[in-house]
Amino acid sequence: MERGLILETTFLIDLEREALRGRPGPAHEFLEAHSDARLYLTLVTAGELAAGPRVSGRARWEALVGRFDILVPDLAVAWRFGQLFRYLKDEGRLIGVNDLWIAATAVEAELPVVTRNEAHFRRVPSLEVVGYA
């Protein structure tokens, strides 16, 4: 079995768009190529999906996020977040707070983040980033 992958919000948005169009694209192709990987979402990604316009009802949201294992931040993730925030701020390369929580969760879990926004996440030291588009 392939090791786990954390799916970032852009990936899930693209996956949903491809499904609505009825045409597989890079997100679906990525999942097919990694069909034996355990798939994770961070709690932050689940929250971003709940706030998004495409998931208007809780039942639909639960059906979407329920397909994945959810990684919940703990004190180790909070510490990592603070360290990464300070480093990126000092370097003038800070990323958005939600993305930084996703990155800190991934670094602590020692799992790669799957995203379309590779350049953005590659600013984070020790984070393995996997692109798909």
The string of pLDDT tens digits covering residues 33-54 is: 999 999 999 999 999 999 987 7
Q: Is residue 73 part of a domain?
A: yes
Write down how long the chain is. Answer: 133
Averaged pLDDT, 96-124: 97
Number of domains in the chain: 1
Q: Is residue 108 part of a domain?
A: yes
Which range of residues forms the domain containing residue 57? 5-128
Q: Is residue 133 part of a domain?
A: no
Q: What is the pLDDT of residue 1?
A: 56
* Residue 50: closest CA among 60, 36, 37, 39: 60
Is 60 a residue whose pLDDT tops 90?
no
Q: Is residue 40 part of a domain?
A: yes
Average pLDDT over the chain reads 93
Averaged pLDDT, 18-25: 90
Q: How far apart are CA 55 and CA 83, in angstroms?
A: 33
Is 23 a residue whose pLDDT tops 60?
yes
CATH number of the domain to which 102 belongs: 3.40.50.1010
pLDDT confidence tier of residue 96, bands split at 50, 70 and 90: very high
pLDDT confidence tier of residue 57, bands split at 50, 70 and 90: confident
Q: Is residue 92 part of a domain?
A: yes
Q: Is residue 114 part of a domain?
A: yes
pTM for the model: 0.93
Q: Is residue 23 part of a domain?
A: yes
Q: Is residue 110 part of a domain?
A: yes
Q: How far apart are CA 108 and CA 72, in angstroms?
A: 11
